[in-house]
């Protein structure tokens, strides 16, 4: 994807760069964080500000998850396994966020597929939740 993913999350995606981008260019999309395949962490929005990562969503009967959540995107697809570097960086980020936001518990760490199942599928079936929670519980390897 190159820099196109950063362009998407900053609403600067060129709709002419690829045939699939025309529909995406009409969306208002952002995320607090992006973790690239090589583990690079990029922050687009401050955690105390609203990002547009979830869209129409609901968690525990509360609608509008963008209003009360921190969005972390992982570069990849639903069907290509995420990299070890992504899991390591995600673990480190979550631990840091938990220090500042003590209400974040492992039970509150969920995917877009859980809050908007009609529209979103990420992180997809290849995301290893067990590995993530093991790293969060036992520490970095």
Q: Exposed/middle/buried for 57, CB within 10 Å: 0-12, 13-18, 19+? A: buried
118 is catalytic: no
b/e code 11-35 from CB counts within 10 Å (16+ = b): eebeeeeeeeeeeebeeebbbbbbb
Residue of 73, 84, 96, 107 marked active site: 73
Query: Which residues are annotated as catalytic?
Result: 73
């Amino acid at each position: 994807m190159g820099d196109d993913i950063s362009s998407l999350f900053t609403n600067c995606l060129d709709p002419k760069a690829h045939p699939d981008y025309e529909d995406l260019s009409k969306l208002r999309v952002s995320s607090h964080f992006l973790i690239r395949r090589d583990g690079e962490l990029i922050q687009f929005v401050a955690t105390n500000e609203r990002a547009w990562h979830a869209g129409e969503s609901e968690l525990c009967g509360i609608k509008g998850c963008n209003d009360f959540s921190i969005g972390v995107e992982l570069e990849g697809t639903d069907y290509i396994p995420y990299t070890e570097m992504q899991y390591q960086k995600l673990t480190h980020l979550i631990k840091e966020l938990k220090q500042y936001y003590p209400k974040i518990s492992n039970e509150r760490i969920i995917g877009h597929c859980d809050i908007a199942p009609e529209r979103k599928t990420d992180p997809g079936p290849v995301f290893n939740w067990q590995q993530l929670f093991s790293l969060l519980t036992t520490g970095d390897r």
